[in-house]
């Protein structure tokens, strides 16, 4: 007598299908979670790399500050370093000139923040005219930028100090601060702060870095 093999019952088939469906859902979610994690790590690494580049900008700039006032677009005298509402402007030396262009090695730099974006602006000439347009470098996802400078009265958020600088008066050699403190807070919640000592280079004459284009 031949043996008869019983097939799967409907309930068993449904159970198997349910298990396969569950495994499929779990596997899909694990893959999606892995992709999200990989993208998150990649994005975070990209932001860390860009932030490191920003710190290199700042360190390279602030390590070469010189005491050279400028004239702005309106012909008014501006101090070698000014700070107000965390907008920092200053003159730096060491602007490399690999193409041997007819220009100064001094450069005017400005840091500011707007719409969660850090801006680094620089001008090709120091004593500007109304047609002078800065070049701009940006770093996004910055929630706050706080800048302070260290003077004789301690850390302050405005520079020059009122008793050290007379607006509109040319040929002033107001003292530079001792150090600059930069605090950056990212949208994700990370905060970074560094303090940079201001170098004591000799005073640059007003003829240095004139409009050589």
Domain residue spans of the chain? 11-163+174-201
CATH class of 11-163+174-201: alpha beta
169 CA to centre of own chain: 32
In angstroms and rounded to an integer, the radius of gyration of the C-alpha atoms of the chain is 29
Using DSSP's 3-state secondary structure scheme, residue 204 falls into coil
CA distance 196 to 60: 10
Residue in this structure with the two tokens 């601060």, named with its chain if needed: 177
Of all helices (H) and strands (E), which one includes residue 15?
Answer: helix 10-62
| Count of Cβ atoms closer than 10 Å to residue 194 Cβ | 13
Along the 213 residues of the chain, how does pLDDT read in single tens digits? 555 556 667 787 788 888 888 888 888 888 777 777 776 677 767 778 888 888 998 999 999 999 999 998 888 889 999 999 999 999 999 877 767 676 778 999 999 999 999 999 999 888 988 888 999 999 988 999 999 999 988 999 999 986 555 555 545 567 899 999 999 998 878 899 999 999 876 555 444 445 444
pTM tops 0.75: no
Which residues are paired to 117 by β-bridges?
Answer: 114, 140
| Count of Cβ atoms closer than 10 Å to residue 69 Cβ | 23
């Amino acid at each position: 007598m031949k043996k008869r093999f019983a097939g799967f019952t409907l309930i068993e088939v449904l159970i198997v299908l349910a298990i396969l469906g569950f495994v499929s859902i779990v596997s899909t979610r694990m893959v999606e979670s892995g992709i999200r994690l990989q993208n998150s790590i990649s994005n975070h690494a990209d932001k860390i790399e860009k932030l490191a580049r920003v710190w290199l900008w700042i360190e390279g700039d602030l390590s070469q500050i010189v005491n050279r006032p400028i004239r702005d677009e309106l012909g008014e005298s501006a101090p070698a370093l000014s700070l107000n509402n965390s907008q920092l402007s200053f003159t730096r030396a060491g602007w490399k000139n690999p193409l041997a262009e007819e220009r100064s090695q001094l450069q005017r730099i400005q840091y500011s923040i707007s719409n969660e974006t850090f801006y680094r602006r620089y001008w090709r000439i120091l004593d500007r005219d109304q047609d002078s347009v800065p070049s701009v470098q940006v770093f996004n996802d910055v929630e706050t930028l706080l800048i302070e400078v260290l003077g004789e009265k301690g850390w302050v958020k405005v520079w020059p100090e009122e008793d050290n600088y007379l607006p509109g008066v040319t040929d002033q050699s107001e003292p530079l601060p001792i150090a600059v403190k930069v605090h950056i807070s990212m949208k994700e919640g990370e905060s970074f702060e560094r303090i940079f000592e201001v170098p004591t280079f000799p005073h640059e004459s007003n003829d240095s870095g004139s409009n050589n284009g």
